[in-house]
Structure 1
Amino acid sequence: MVELGAGRIGGTAPLWEEMGIHLAVESILAGATKAPMFVDDAEAPAAAMTWTGHRLFLAGDVAGAGFGGALAGFASSRGQFVAYCTRDDLEGAERLLSGYKVEKRWRRYYECDPSVRGWAGDPPEGYAVERITLELLGRGLGHTDWVREEMCSERASVEEFLGKSFGFAALHGGGFAAWCMSEYNLGDRCEVGIETVREHRRRGLAVLVDGAMFRHAAATGVRRVGWHCWADNAGSVATAERLGLRHVVDYTALFIDARTG
């Protein structure tokens, strides 16, 4: 196993060709997201492993690549995470992860071009939608810590998020009720992260903040927004379809609980 320097990470791109729906991988390869990259052979890699946040990405013949040590460090620091690979690499990924509790689950991927339609919407009575800014985060609103945590799930800091990504939130009664954030902004692409506080669900807030984010994305040149969710997450699936997103593919991911071997 070899950890590649930042200048050589892009050279692993051929191993990731079938992972194009995962913008996190594209961002890592482009150097826009700082992440480690492990390979079996630095000169002629046949397997690669990288991660960002709680997402582990695997490519090639990972079972025999000697990734166990690096994987153990990642797993112990995360506790729970999701592993992604291609269908052809799934068996090897399961062997690599066999020391942990592994649950095979279906994920669903949607896309849209946010510029092809309008995203108008009025908030329910008592709610307001605002862009997430440092000023907004400094008002002492309820669930500000949750919003900050979401911002740092993909970026190294709140400041980095505000410099490279964007998000919108629904506010109600002195607190955050829902929020939608762009993730892995790269060229004309980004992905979506969304959350609605439990007591504010079933009020159309997800569609509302998504629409605000999509409007801004279109205005800044984004033409391809990706939406990943669990296939059995009825709420997320319903929101994606209500927004008119295009269902691209269902794929298998591995949910890992490293707290119980």
Structure 2
Amino acid sequence: MLKLQSDKYVKVRPLFKTLEYNLGVEAILSGTVQGDVYVDDLQNPSTACMFDGVHHFYMGGNEKNQDFNSSLSKLIINDIFPKIKNEGKEVDYFFFYDDSSEWEKELEFVLKDIYPGKTYRRYYNFYAGDSVLSLDMLEGFKLRKIDSELMESTDLNNVEEIQQWAFTESWSGKEDFLKNGFGFCIIKDKDIVSWCMADHVFGGNCEIGVETDEDYREKGLATRVVSACVEYCLSEGMDRIGWSCFESNEASYALAEKVGFKIFKKYPVLFGWYNSYDNLFVQGDVSTKEGNFEKGAQLLEKALLLAEADDDDFKRSRISNRDSVCWAYFLAARAHALSGNADKCINRLKKGFELGLPNKDMLNDSAFDALRDNEAFKQL
């Protein structure tokens, strides 16, 4: 596997044809966003992986290239993941791929040692000529375009959220965002309460996202700020505006549809967290909730091994610490109970109570129903 120079990215463009709707791909290929592209051959690449340096991996080309896939697995485990952790960017990651191909099956091999999960996302488009919902602003609130003065403000609450948007994988900072991006926000008194900003802008296309302060949700503010952003895009002559969200985020796609976006694609992605403990904890809990009890138990046990070893990832966890790790034991106990392993379940419950599980009422959880007549369980 070889790293392609940025002036040669045109060579891999055909490999990402099915992902070109995602402007993150175009942003890297065009050089507007820094990213790395790894290929099997510098002159005639047939397989490629594109990485934006933080969250997103894009797979293209021949998914059956075993030499490339093996090298990619080593690169991810030995280079990319440690580098991200050392930089303190222990966030989530996503693998995008052509869902009509066999990339998902091959990625199970590539990522087998980091235990990703699978979820679904939606992608929406709004085209020039589509009708956008237009609403009057609520009394006491005002719409404002995001500019340098606003981003440098010291007396507005949530301004740091606006500033952070300009330091994602899409933008190199405030100057880059203000020059090449755009956004709008709604302000009430000294609070920025809702904001819609560009994630990518390329040619006549862009992608946008929205956030609303928790104290101001369900008031129609997100609808208004997104509509304002779309109207701005149309006034600037843009042809297409993209919007993406998780399939589970009904509020997000309901908002997009209300404004006038139309569904383009529903697609699977593999995802996880760079922090091994957090990833195992979450994936184990999700697997249990999805009914895959044995897998859930296995992943949670791997998380507990890291906790018991006081591993660096456990120390840096955003989910657990020494005071709350008892809940990991409880979740592992549930998974073991549901998979029929009574002894392991009771062992994990005992350890959880030793470490601070608050009370025995949680034993009323229906996951433990099969253990009601178990003498060891009764003695807990």
Above 0.5 in TM-score? yes
Match in the other structure for 1:71:
76
Query: What is the rounded CA distance, in whole Å, between the counterparts of 2:117 and 2:177 in structure 1?
Result: 31
Query: What is the rounded CA distance, in whole Å, between the counterparts of 2:44 and 2:138 in structure 1?
Result: 57
SS at match of 1:212: helix
The alpha-carbon deviation at position 44 of structure 1 amounts to: 2.2
Pairing 1:82–2:72 present: no
Higher helix share: 2
Pairing 1:142–2:142 present: no
Match in the other structure for 1:117:
131
Query: What is the rounded CA distance, in whole Å, between the counterparts of 2:140 and 2:175 in structure 1?
Result: 29
Amino acid in the other structure paired with 1:67: L
Query: What is the rounded CA distance, in whole Å, between the counterparts of 1:222 and 1:31 in structure 2?
Result: 20
Larger RCO, structures 1/2 (Cα 8 Å, 6+ apart): 1
Structure 2 residue ranges without an equivalent (≥5): 281-380
Task: Classify 1:114/1:210 alpha carbon distance in 2 versus 1 (closer, same or farther; 3 Å).
Answer: farther
1:107/1:230 contact within 8 Å kept: yes
The alpha-carbon deviation at position 70 of structure 1 amounts to: 3.6
Query: What is the rounded CA distance, in whole Å, between the counterparts of 1:74 and 1:193 in structure 2?
Result: 27
The alpha-carbon deviation at position 183 of structure 1 amounts to: 2.2
1:119/1:215 contact within 8 Å kept: no
The alpha-carbon deviation at position 121 of structure 1 amounts to: 2.2
Match in the other structure for 1:97:
111
Amino acid in the other structure paired with 1:258: Y
Higher mean displacement: 111-120 or 201-210: 111-120
Q: Which entry has the higher C-alpha Rg, 1 or 2?
A: 2
1:63/1:93 contact within 8 Å kept: no
Task: Classify 1:218/1:47 alpha carbon distance in 2 versus 1 (closer, same or farther; 3 Å).
Answer: same
Task: Classify 1:160/1:36 alpha carbon distance in 2 versus 1 (closer, same or farther; 3 Å).
Answer: same
**CA distances 1:17-74 after superposition (whole Å, capped 9, x unpaired):** 1112211101211222221111122122122112224112122326641123442333
Q: Percent identity of the aligned residues?
A: 25
1:101/1:258 contact within 8 Å kept: no
Matches within 5 A, 1:14-33: 14-33=14-33
TM-score calculated relative to the size of structure 1: 0.93
2:40/2:46 contact within 8 Å kept: yes
Higher strand share: 1
Query: What is the rounded CA distance, in whole Å, between the counterparts of 2:108 and 2:261 in structure 1?
Result: 31
Structure 1 residue ranges without an equivalent (≥5): none
**CA distances 1:147-198 after superposition (whole Å, capped 9, x unpaired):** 1111221101111011111000111231211111122211110011211111
Higher mean displacement: 117-126 or 157-166: 117-126
Count of paired positions: 261
SS at match of 1:184: strand
1:4/1:36 contact within 8 Å kept: yes
The alpha-carbon deviation at position 115 of structure 1 amounts to: 4.5
Higher mean displacement: 154-163 or 35-44: 35-44
Amino acid in the other structure paired with 1:123: M
TM-score calculated relative to the size of structure 2: 0.65
1:83/1:256 contact within 8 Å kept: no
Match in the other structure for 1:199:
215
Match in the other structure for 1:58:
59
